[in-house]
Amino acid sequence: MGKRTATKRMKAQADFEANFFDEGRAPTKPDLYAIDGGWHPDDSDKTRARPAEEPPRDKRYQKTIKPRSKNQAELLEALDTRSLVAAVGPAGTGKTYLAICKAVEALQKGKVDRIILSRPAVEAGEQIGFLPGAMEDKLAPYLRPLYDALSDRLSPQQLKHMMAEGLIEIAPIGFMRGRTLNNAFVVIDEAQNCTYTQLKMLLTRLGWHSTMVITGDPNQSDLLPTLSGLGPVADKLEAMEDVSVIRLEAKDVVRHPLVAQMLDTL
């Protein structure tokens, strides 16, 4: 009985939302309301109101990724041509997603033997040792954004198989010292939460036939401003001819348009 009532209530709410806007009241600004799927970066005309009869957008990923801005195009080109790339910019600019897409593409084409993912486990008052499970289980909450990007490019079965076979490896930053990463695509995410010493150690892990990508936003570090090493490292790497440092901006944000507006406001 309770389930039927809830279903009727959801249907009534959906009918109300579908008829909320009258014809001729199309907003002049990008449609920011979460109705009929809400805003999507693929919308060719973001100033129009989506008709009620228009079918929902297909949420499946595109096999071939396309840059949404000039800076994203430069990032994709750098990932194809450079062994070391630093992608620095605000949230929502596609730094991590593009890096993961290129990593999966390189693995599927046989350009590398494995993908290595690493992300600093910055704790907020709770020690990582208290989390249950093995090392992968303890790190899972911190690596969730990377898993989300992988799940968008691989089926659950493929992802599970590659994880089990070691084709996709989770490498905690604290355990990277002393390693040489050959034939690998290495993604260091949230690098703004790494110290200068940690980043120096990570960069020197680069081996033969490997690509390393460092992503992060220096303005969103959870460390003290003097401890985060991403900004100084990016400035020094930019002077090297064979290293690409791509600096993305608020105009490159591909999330909800409000994200770009908040970056300018907050």
- Packing angle between helix 70-81 and helix 95-108, nearest 10 degrees? 40
Domain boundaries, the chain: 1-59, 70-265
Q: What is the pTM of this model?
A: 0.71
Q: Torsions phi, psi of 85, nearest 5?
A: -130, 135
| Contact (CB, 8 A) for 159 and 87 | no
Of 145, 140, 123, 73, nearest to 102 by C-alpha is: 73
Q: Which fold has domain 70-265?
A: Rossmann fold (3.40.50)
Q: Which strands, in side-by-side order, build the sheet including 84-88?
A: 168-170, 114-118, 184-188, 211-216, 84-88, 244-247
- DSSP-derived 3-state class of residue 199: helix
Other C-beta atoms closer than 10 Å to the C-beta of 256 total: 17
The pLDDT of residue 120 is: 82
Can you point out the beta strands (E) in 134-253? Answer: 168-170, 184-188, 211-216, 244-247
pLDDT averaged over 10-residue windows placed end to end, the chain, 266 residues? 50 50 46 49 50 48 74 94 94 89 93 91 55 68 79 88 90 85 93 91 93 91 83 93 92 75 70
Hey, what amino acid is at 101?
C
Contacts of 177 (CB under 8 A, 6+ apart): 201
Of 212, 126, 140, nearest to 176 by C-alpha is: 212
Contacts of 242 (CB under 8 A, 6+ apart): 82, 83, 84
Residue 216 CB burial class (10 angstroms; 0-12, 13-18, ≥19): buried
The CA-based dihedral angle spanning residues 249, 251, 253, 256, taken in that order and rounded to the nearest 10 degrees: 140
The pLDDT of residue 47 is: 46
Of 43, 47, 11, 14, nearest to 28 by C-alpha is: 47
